[in-house]
Structure 1
Amino acid sequence: MRLRADQAVDVLRAAGEPTRLRILALLAREELAVLELCRVIDQSQPRVSRHLKLLAEAGLVERFPDGAWVFYRLTHGGQAAELIGEILARIDAADPVLTRDAERLSAVWAERAADAGEYFARNAARWDEIRSLYVSEAAVETAILAAAGTGPFHRLVDLGSGTGRMLTLLGPKAGQALGLDLSQQMLNIARNHVAEAGLAGCELRHGDIFATRLPSEYADLVVVHQVLHYLADPAAAVKEAARLVAPGGKLLIVDFAPHKLEYLREQHQHRRLGFADGEMKRWLAEAGLTKVEVDALPPARTEGLTVKIWAAEPGRARQRSAA
């Protein structure tokens, strides 16, 4: 359905202001929290919030609270989104204002990466202990095995391997296994665990979950275990993971349901406080994985976290295109 003339005017009026156009250009890169936008464009929170309110009213951005934070992202789909995409595509990539904003955003990314790196280096040796504080790993692993299926798997890929637990859990069912992680400390611990498990067909690499550089349809089992809540752009990670799933294969995503334990963000570098089923299923569907089963494991105690397992497979359309 095309925009009416008055709707187009509303969209153009909302976007046709320098600060709001800068915000749209930033959100085209990734979803951002209000305070992060304030830092990048160097304006006060009330002023930025006012711009965001106008953009949301025009249907150009989506607002979603996450604990004590509020994130914004470009609205998905629709004629208004297409119009804004066209406008942004026609702006000179060398525009000095947008270039400066991009540099400031890169500084925010670098700060995040440094904080995460320090955190993971500091806690690598006791990572499994930290996770065990929030949920029963034994129950989660039993559910993961059930969701993965009996196998055998020709090739397993574990994105964000951490200490390598998913490799040692699922690797015995796989002919080949590959684990990727950005933390060298985590990779070193994972290598020890994989060696102790006698998994000769398992390889560990330094790699980026957003750009794995692996071929499409590379593996019949792809796992993303307790990784997404650390990421600035979890939807992009889901898309890349789904790209690796071969016809007839499966993607397992293990993460938390929405919660309010703000200290996990403050003390343990969690960027997102869990994910709702609707949000996850939409990301999976956009990536071509439309057959989704969800398992929920409630916490052992009231203040704990509910773990969700989303098991997703390619839909018929993707299976036919692969054939």
Structure 2
Amino acid sequence: MDQIIAALRAIAEPTRLRLVALGAEGEWCVTDLVEILGQSQPRLSRHLRLLAEAGVFERAREGPNVFFRLADTGPGAALARAALARVPEDDPLLAADRHRARSLRAVRARAASAAFQANPVAWDELRALDLPAAAIEAALLAALPPGPLGRLLDIGTGTGRMLELLAPRAEGATGIDLSREMLALARARLSASGLGRCTLRQADMMRLPFPPASFDLVTLAMVLHYADEPAEVLAEAARVLAPQGTLAIVDLAPHGDDALVRRLAHRWPGFPAPQVAAWLAGAGLAPRPAVALPGPLTVHLHIATRAVPATSRAGAARIDA
């Protein structure tokens, strides 16, 4: 009876129930859980200790880290699984946790890849997949508006290659990534390139920490195939795009390489160009025809612009008159 009461007390708290839901999907260290839940390490460590003492979680040490997962057996684990079975699958809080957990797993897989380990500072996915990076970057530059690029946002900046390429023409340049490790590498890369004025922030591409119409150019280079909900990512990118601004996407065309998807934790094996065009149109943007760039895997370049609102055009016409 004492074991059952301890388990019930352990899971009867919102944060601990969220931890149970994550622990049912795999094992996590405290640092991972801090990033997923956005809570402090001491607070989460206390919750994890209570769950472990109640037999709900198992602990396993690996080097300096301790990993936690939902226990396989025992009354505590059984009660936790029974409680989870009664939580709606579409609960917004748990759904957001699952999304961040998948994004973090993709970041971990990326950082564990052989190409990253060989040269972390120079790593980017175009080169890791042996794609014609120079030709793809040249096509991107040719497709962008000539002259100054205004305010630039690079979503999923990784080690900062897009910022290195485009920031010299930008009024201001910001990169976001979920991985602190990647942001540290990006800072080193940009500093070495004399681009220390670029702003780097840890943020989720599903919830950009910027007001509407903040940027004139938004880029997503080899990022969309990591997203749980690509259409929502594009809608969020469109939200922060100013009128007449440009959204540029570099991503894979559909391919059948399942081993690649597993190795780098991609959520999608590329995208058909009409599907991306439909998502862009649904986000209120005007997409151009996609440009196919051949290589070991075909890459698509998508460019879309945000139109000036009709009320603004009417006001401009009155001023001209």
Same fold (TM over 0.5): yes
Distance 1:155 1:104 in 2: 34
CA-CA distance at 1:213 after TM superposition: 1.8
Which amino acid is the alignment partner of residue 131 of structure 1? Answer: L
Q: Which residue of 1 aligns with 2:123?
A: 128
Tell me whether 243-252 or 311-320 shows the greater mean CA deviation: 311-320
Work out the CA distance in 1 between the residues paired with 2:239 and 2:159: 24
Q: 1:129 to 1:176 in 2, by over 3 A?
A: closer
Hey, what's the Cα distance between the residues in 2 that align with 1:319 and 1:153?
25
2:41 matched residue in structure 1: none
Give 1:143's aligned residue: 139
Q: Please identify runs of 4+ aligned residues in structure 1 that moved more than 3 A.
A: 100-111, 315-323
Compute the displacement of 1:295 (Å): 1.3
After superposition, where does 1:92-107 map in structure 2 within 5 Å? 97=86, 99=88, 102=91
Give the deviation of 1:130 after TM superposition: 5.2
CA 1:221/1:318 → structure 2, altered by over 3 Å: closer, same or farther?
farther
User: Match for residue 86 of structure 1?
Assistant: none
Q: CA deviation at 1:126?
A: 6.8
The one of 240, 243, 250 aligned to 1:244: 240
**8 A contact 2:151–2:215 mirrored in 1:** yes
2:251/2:301 contact within 8 Å kept: yes
Match of 1:307 among 295, 299, 305: 299
Q: Which amino acid aligns with 2:241?
A: V
User: What is the 5 A alignment of 1:190-209?
Assistant: 190-209=186-205
- TM-superposed deviation, 1:287: 1.0
- In structure 2, the residue matched to 1:118 is 108
Q: Is the 8 A contact 1:238 1:283 kept in 2?
A: yes
* Conserved 8 A contact 2:106-2:266: no
Superposition TM-score, scaled by structure 1 size:
0.63
Q: Deviations over 1:225-251 (max 9, x none)?
A: 100001111111000111111112100
Letter in 2 for 1:116: A
Q: Is the 8 A contact 2:121 2:189 kept in 1?
A: no
Root-mean-square deviation over aligned CA pairs: 2.7
Mapped contact 1:182–1:207 kept (Cα < 8 A): yes
Which deviations, in whole Å up to 9, do the C-alpha atoms of 1:179-231 show, x marking residues without a partner?
Answer: 00001111011111111111243110101111112111111111011000011
How do 1:248-259 residues align onto structure 2 when only pairs under 5 Å count? 248-259=244-255
Query: How many Å apart are 1:264 and its aligned residue?
Result: 1.5
Give the drift of 1:109.
4.0
* Residues 276 and 215 of structure 1, relative CA distance in 2, 3 Å threshold: same
For residues 65-91 of structure 1, what are the alpha-carbon distances to aligned partners after superposition, in whole Å with 9 as ceiling and x for unaligned? xxxxxxxxxxxxxxxxxxxxxxxxxxx
CA–CA distance in 2 between the matches of 1:166 and 1:296?
19
Looking at structure 2, the residues matched to 142 and 185 of structure 1 have their Cα atoms a distance apart, in angstroms, of: 28
Say if 1:157 and 1:104 are closer, same or farther in 2 by CA, change over 3 A. Answer: closer
CA distance 1:108–1:210, shift in 2 (3 Å): closer
Which amino acid letter does the alignment assign opposite residue 119 of structure 1? A
> Could you tell me whether the CA contact under 8 Å between 2:216 and 2:244 is conserved in 1?
yes
Mark the CA change 1:305 to 1:194 in structure 2 (over 3 Å): closer, same or farther.
Answer: same
- Cα distance in 2 for partners of 1:306, 1:245 equals 27
CA contact (8 A) 1:291 1:315 kept: no
What CA distance in whole angstroms lies between the structure 2 residues aligned with 1:319 and 1:211? Answer: 28
Q: 1:220 to 1:143 in 2, by over 3 A?
A: same
- Contact (CA 8 Å) 1:180, 1:205: kept in 2 or not? yes
1:283 aligns with 2:279: yes
2-structure distance, mates of 1:159, 1:175: 17
Q: Deviations over 1:284-315 (max 9, x none)?
A: 1111112424211011xxxx211111110023
Q: Normalising to structure 2: TM-score of the pair?
A: 0.64
- Give the Cα separation in 1 of the matches to 2:138 and 2:292: 12
Q: Which amino acid aligns with 1:122?
A: A
Q: Matched residues, percent identical?
A: 38
> 1:161: which partner in 2?
157
Q: Which residue number in structure 1 is paired with residue 258 of structure 2? A: 262
Contiguous gaps of at least 5 residues in structure 1 = 1-38, 41-95
Using a 3 Å threshold, how does the CA distance of structure 1 residues 216 and 258 change in structure 2: closer, same or farther? same
Shift of 1:154: 2.0
Shift of 1:99: 2.8
SS in 2 for 1:249: strand
